[in-house]
């Protein structure tokens, strides 16, 4: 996933003033861009379900309790962010997590916020 973050001159000057390298600033920007899609509750529910394996829109609709159109819109956002992949099987579309990084971060969130729910 390529970073869309480009530090401004002001960002760079402030970072240098506190001893942050350009490399660290760019990585912080990339991490911030990665985390933005995770801030929406429905997207998190969808991603957490995909931790269990691939699912189609109907399954994600059932798990989330959201209408198909809303689930599809959030899946489009997740695809645009590079967090999910899909495959077609006839008329069905199945979604999966795109990267091991996404899986690792979601597992940490699950351990911190959901493990007690079991």
* pLDDT tens-digit series, residues 69-81: 999 999 999 999 9
Per-residue CA distances from 15 to 11, 32, 97 (Å): 6, 16, 33
47, two tokens = 């991603």
Both 30 and 44 in a single domain?
no
Both 49 and 88 in a single domain?
yes
Both 12 and 65 in a single domain?
no
Residue 17 has pLDDT above 70, yes or no: no
62 vs 10, higher pLDDT: 62
Angle CA(97)–CA(100)–CA(103) in degrees, nearest 5? 60
Which CATH number does the domain housing residue 44 bear?
Answer: 1.10.10.10
pLDDT in tens, 26-52: 777 888 888 999 999 999 999 999 999
Residue 103 has pLDDT above 90, yes or no: yes
Both 31 and 67 in a single domain?
no
Is residue 3 within 8 A of residue 30, CB to CB? The reply is yes
Both 79 and 61 in a single domain?
yes
pLDDT of residue 114: 80
Both 107 and 68 in a single domain?
yes
Name the residue range of residue 28's domain: 1-39
Both 62 and 96 in a single domain?
yes
Residue 1 confidence class, pLDDT cut points 50, 70, 90: very low
Angle CA(11)–CA(8)–CA(16) in degrees, nearest 5? 35
The share of the chain scoring above pLDDT 90, in percent, equals: 62
22 vs 47, higher pLDDT: 47
């Amino acid at each position: 996933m390529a970073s869309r973050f480009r530090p401004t001159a002001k960002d760079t000057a402030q970072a240098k003033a506190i001893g942050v390298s350009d490399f660290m600033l760019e990585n912080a920007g990339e991490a911030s861009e990665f985390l933005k899609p995770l801030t929406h509750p429905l997207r998190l529910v969808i991603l957490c379900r995909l931790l269990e394996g691939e699912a189609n829109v109907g399954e994600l609709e059932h798990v989330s309790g959201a209408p198909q159109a809303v689930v599809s819109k959030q899946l489009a956002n997740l695809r645009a962010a590079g967090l999910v992949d899909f495959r077609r099987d006839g008329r069905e579309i199945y979604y999966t997590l795109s990267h091991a990084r996404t899986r690792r971060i979601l597992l940490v969130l699950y351990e911190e916020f959901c493990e007690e729910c079991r």
